[in-house]
Structures are given as structure tokens and as C-alpha cells.
Amino acid sequence: GQQLNQSPQSMFIQEGEDVSMNCTSSSIFNTWLWYKQDPGEGPVLLIALYKAGELTSNGRLTAQFGITRKDSFLNISASIPSDVGIYFCAGHWGTYKYIFGTGTRLKVLA
Amino acid sequence: EAQVTQNPRYLITVTGKKLTVTCSQNMNHEYMSWYRQDPGLGLRQIYYSMNVEVTDKGDVPEGYKVSRKEKRNFPLILESPSPNQTSLYFCASSHLELTGFPTEAFFGQGTRLTVV
């Protein structure tokens, strides 16, 4: 079946640093989504990408839809303590099913 | 306030005892879906619904049923729960984009189910 590889699995960073994480798919995707999940909460949609090459920002967050349509990247600039959480990528390839990555756990050292 | 509401938030049950987890959204969304979240596996889609009376299987539908009799409600039914269905469950809803496909935008707070 379809698989999404998300990396890194976890990362510690210093407050103020920039963060990068990515997802790769075994097949071409039509939509890429990025979410953040805080403990005890449901995922919250951060950024949605619909076209290959698309670059979209949401505050300090920037995400890109890879040209090959098989990958996507999320960057967080100038990280702050409230960025702590699990970040998920998700996407679909033109069906109504969604696939999620396994998550990147972000921990910020103040 | 736009929201997806799941009930209950926590549930402990015994093997084989039928249960239903309710999900309701107040945004008139066409698309609704159920996910389970297990450590290290991310979220996996169980079932989804494109509209009233239209449902289809996600990646892990075995052991689950759903129904969509009204647009706002999408209950998840476990006819005979087993311990391997112990998990954190999320309901989600979204409108359909101009492309005709959904953007999974709104998630409920989750239901933590334990089957003993």
C-alpha cells in the first residue's frame, strides 16, 4: 500500500533555531497537508499544498510541495517553546483516502 | 464555534461488547472520516464518507462499521471490540475543495478506547 516516510522522527533544537522536516511518498500525491498535534488534542491543520512547486507560508512556518510530487518539506523559523509537539504530514493521490506520516516529535530547549 | 465533537472522550470496555463512538460537526461539511492513532504508526484512516449515505473503507476498516444517515453525524461502531482495537480515535470533517477532493481540516478532540 501507499507509504509516507517522515523524517526526522524526533529532534531537539535550541530556541531561536530553524527547523526542517520532510515527507516522502512512494507515489505521486495531489495534495500535501501539514499538521501539529499537541498532547491530548487532535491534529490542527497548519498548511495545505495543492500544486507541485507550491511554496506556502503561515507565520513562521513555510511548506513546499515538491516538484516530483513525491515529497514535501516544512520549515519552522526562529523556533519558540510553544512549537513543541508532533508534526504530521498527510496527503492523497487523487482518491478520497488520506495517508499520514508517522510524525516528527519536536522538542525545544529553552 | 466551528467544531467536531466526539463522545465519549474516554472509554474502557470488555471484549465483545458492542459500542458506538459518536461524531458530530456543525459546519455542514460533506466529507467526514475516522482515524485511529497508535504509537509509532501515525494516523490511519478507518472509514470515510463523501456525503449522506455514501461511505467507503479507508486503510484499516476491519472490525469497524460506520453510518451516515445525517450530514452532521458520523458514528463509529465496533460490533465486537477486541484488545487490538485499543487506540486513540479521531473523527474529522472538511468541505470539498473546487477540485472535488477534501482537505482534512477539522479534527475532534479524540476518544481514547481501551478494550480489556
Query: For residue A25, is pLDDT > 60?
Result: yes
Query: For residue A1, is pLDDT > 60?
Result: no
- The amino acid sitting at B81 is P
Residues with Cβ within 8 Å of A4's Cβ and at least 6 positions away in sequence, in order, are A23, A24, A25, A89, A90, A91, A99, A100, A101, A102, B42
CB contact under 8 A, B104 and A102: no
CB contact under 8 A, A96 and B90: no
- Chain B residues touching residue A103 (CB < 8 angstroms): 42
In this prediction, residue A63 carries a pLDDT of 98
| Residue A49 near chain B (CB below 8 Å) | no
Look at residues B40, B33, B29 and name the one whose alpha carbon lies nearest to residue B6.
B33
In this prediction, residue A36 carries a pLDDT of 97
Q: Which residue has the cell 470539498?
A: B96
Q: Which residue has the cell 470515510?
A: B48
Q: A36-40, A59-63, B20-24: which has the minimum mean pLDDT?
A: A36-40
In this prediction, residue A43 carries a pLDDT of 94
CB contact under 8 A, A50 and B40: no
> How many Cα atoms sit within 13 Å of A9 on the Cβ side?
4
Which residue from A minimizes the CA distance to B40? A102
In this prediction, residue B54 carries a pLDDT of 94
In this prediction, residue A12 carries a pLDDT of 93
For A65-93, what is the mean pLDDT? 94
| Residue A66 near chain B (CB below 8 Å) | no
Query: For residue A3, is pLDDT > 90?
Result: no
- Residue ranges of chain B with per-residue pLDDT less than 50: none
> Cα distance from B110 to chain A (closest Cα, Å)?
6
In this prediction, residue A96 carries a pLDDT of 82
In this prediction, residue B14 carries a pLDDT of 97
Q: Which of A30, A41, A100 sits opposite B109 (nearest CB)?
A: A41
| Residue B61 near chain A (CB below 8 Å) | no
